[in-house]
Chain A
């Protein structure tokens, strides 16, 4: 048998590994403002090309251009910047707290701050997110008390989840934030189910599912698209493509499909691709999708093209699998810097105001941290009660758990 007759397994590899010089000049980034804005009730087949493009609003000069621009007023833009800055500062403090041994684990959003903070602004009270572990901006953008998030991260005596759940796996129904599981992809179909329930009850609320590029490979992703498509569920199916699933580059999950957004096509789900580092673009596209869902026109899939500038978690070291400078070379820039440039260009922001805002935010985060730490950190100070370990397994504690709690002597 000749060598060309033999079969070969194709295992995709990222272009750059440690030691290589990253160069993304071959990545096709459409210029800001160049992608059209379809009508809300457009037929999915008319916008199939949009799953292969990238909707962008902010250009290199920081100007908002094109048909997706002009959605936010000055006040909202400044608020958006502050939310992204708050999330980044919060992350930095909690990363440090983890290194200081105040908690076991943390996951930051570095480089992805625009996605969740901007998205949340298109939802209304009563809508429900089914987030992954990298969407804390959904809470930050609602001015959720940071101290409560920290109490959870520290598993302290005020932890709303009573010390039972891994740090950052928040749950806050009142803020439309479903309990984070930590298992991958499972919550995506739950978002579809929630949306179906809203339709069953003839409600007006919508749901948002969240998944990462890597987890789109899970079977539940397929289940979600089938159910969302079949029942035309009022759900926004968000795919955050931050290029890396721990050490695995996005090509392993994506295979030959071109883009993650294109996965929606087989299900007749309109699928848009957006610059995830562009707050204005994320907001505009999410708003379009939310309006479509609310008008009973069914699901929309959105792929946010972004880059995970930090490690997967505090247990991860990206230098082991990708070039150290890869995030600097990433062509979509930094969401905070881009927003700042835009606001300065509009004349409503300045370097001085930015520095002042940084200081204010740092103070707010520090005050929250101090308060949270007064209630304890993972290994010192106030802790959740050991008895609590046995609560909430069931609504009412069955006899065998009562007996085991007694045996534990707590």
Chain B
């Protein structure tokens, strides 16, 4: 066991895989000598050489397109998009190419690539460093979409993603890199070094894709969350005193419906929380699945708490970000119904 931040855990996952598998290569903007703007790849070039960890031109389509070609050759690239906000130039390569390669070639070629990118807000990053674009990927058949919320999961999920034979979108909530941020921006965050989930097992282990985790057991209401919102929901439950059962989805695609259904059928109430904008957000999909499978168990309409349907603002960040107060109000409301 080692004390690690989420950044160190992510780096450790790549280190473990690069050490085990010569076919794992890591590249992206600033990831080589410098080790990435968030330092997630620090030391990897020094340890494994420029041949396996290197800087790329600023061209996201090129990064992902090259990774697909490398995967077709037989490598297992793990690439970084510097911010999820910058992934859109690569969207065609991800959607039209990586996601469909196995299908359209009937397995003749595959794209076992992992595309890492920091996601979400809370750092005063404005429109270009704060978006949560998960729903533009969960709509795409052939992709897997993963969002870890702590160092232990981040390492295990990233190793599982690199080992997965299908393309994985790996969204790293950047506000969680250094500690479990719960939305109370006026208070200091407990660093991962003082948190049990910062106690990361050494060496190789995996956290399976497609498996959610109940992070807080409860009987009153089920909260479906992922990434930073897991801690916001925990704060909201603590502060309202409502006995919420909080599920950290961890993988959005494929979704662990079993865990969700079991919980909602038990509690009879459900609140869905995400940072991404409300309309056509992943919460809409969660709502539909819960409605389809748990309708006769529901005591109240399901409530969504999400980012407002505006571009991500700068100065107004804390009016935009779905914090514990908003989530708390939703919990109270769903209990009153």
Assess whether A190 is in contact with B62, with CB atoms less than 8 Å apart.
no
Give the distance to chain A from B321, nearest Cβ to Cβ, in Å: 31
Within 8 A of A (CB), among B197-213: 210
Among A160, A178, A223, max chain B CB count under 10 A is at A223
Which of B51, B68, B104, B109 has a CB less than 8 Å from the CB of A200?
Answer: B51
Assess whether B70 is in contact with A220, with CB atoms less than 8 Å apart.
no
Assess whether A181 is in contact with B25, with CB atoms less than 8 Å apart.
no
Give the distance to chain B from A204, nearest Cβ to Cβ, in Å: 13
Cα A398 to Cα B164 with chains together (Å): 13
Assess whether A183 is in contact with B67, with CB atoms less than 8 Å apart.
no
Q: Contacts A200-B52, A398-B210, A400-B255 known; A161 to B57 CB distance under 8 Å?
A: no
Assess whether B108 is in contact with A171, with CB atoms less than 8 Å apart.
yes
Give the distance to chain B from A395, nearest Cβ to Cβ, in Å: 4
Assess whether A400 is in contact with B68, with CB atoms less than 8 Å apart.
no
Assess whether A173 is in contact with B75, with CB atoms less than 8 Å apart.
no
Residues of A within 8 A of B100 (CB): 181
- Who on chain A is nearest to B258 by CB? A399
How many of chain B's residues touch chain A, expressed as a range? 35 or more
Residues of B within 8 A of A224 (CB): 62, 65
Assess whether B101 is in contact with A179, with CB atoms less than 8 Å apart.
yes
Answer yes or no: A130 CB below 8 A from chain B CBs.
yes
Q: Contacts A219-B61, A400-B254 known; A193 to B69 CB distance under 8 Å?
A: yes
Cα A194 to Cα B108 with chains together (Å): 15
Give the distance to chain A from B98, nearest Cβ to Cβ, in Å: 10
- Who on chain B is nearest to A188 by CB? B65
Among listed A15-23, A91-99, A162-170, A333-341, interface-contacting one: A162-170
Assess whether A173 is in contact with B65, with CB atoms less than 8 Å apart.
no
Among listed B33-41, B89-97, B242-250, interface-contacting one: B89-97
Which of B52, B69, B110, B254 has a CB less than 8 Å from the CB of A191?
Answer: B69
Which of A173, A197, A223 has a CB less than 8 Å from the CB of B61?
Answer: A223
Which of B96, B105, B254 has a CB less than 8 Å from the CB of A398?
Answer: B254
Interface string of A392-407 (1 = CB under 8 A from B): 1111001110000000
Among A164, A192, A201, max chain B CB count under 10 A is at A201
Cα A399 to Cα B57 with chains together (Å): 39
Interface string of B178-214 (1 = CB under 8 A from A): 0000000000000000000000000000000010000
Residues of B within 8 A of A395 (CB): 102, 110, 165-166
Q: Contacts A169-B104, A171-B109, A197-B69 known; A227 to B57 CB distance under 8 Å?
A: yes
Answer yes or no: B123 CB below 8 A from chain A CBs.
no
Can you offer 16 A-B residue contacts whose CB atoms are under 8 A?
A: A128-B72, A164-B106, A171-B105, A172-B108, A178-B72, A179-B101, A181-B97, A186-B92, A188-B65, A189-B66, A190-B68, A197-B75, A200-B52, A200-B70, A207-B69, A220-B61
Contacts A171-B105, A193-B69, A398-B210 known; list 10 others, CB within 8 Å.
Answer: A130-B69, A169-B104, A171-B108, A190-B65, A190-B66, A195-B69, A200-B51, A200-B75, A393-B102, A394-B102
- Partner-B contacts on A (CB < 8 A): 128, 130, 160-162, 164-165, 169, 171-173, 178-179, 181, 183, 186-198, 200-201, 207, 219-220, 222-224, 226-227, 230, 392-395, 398-400
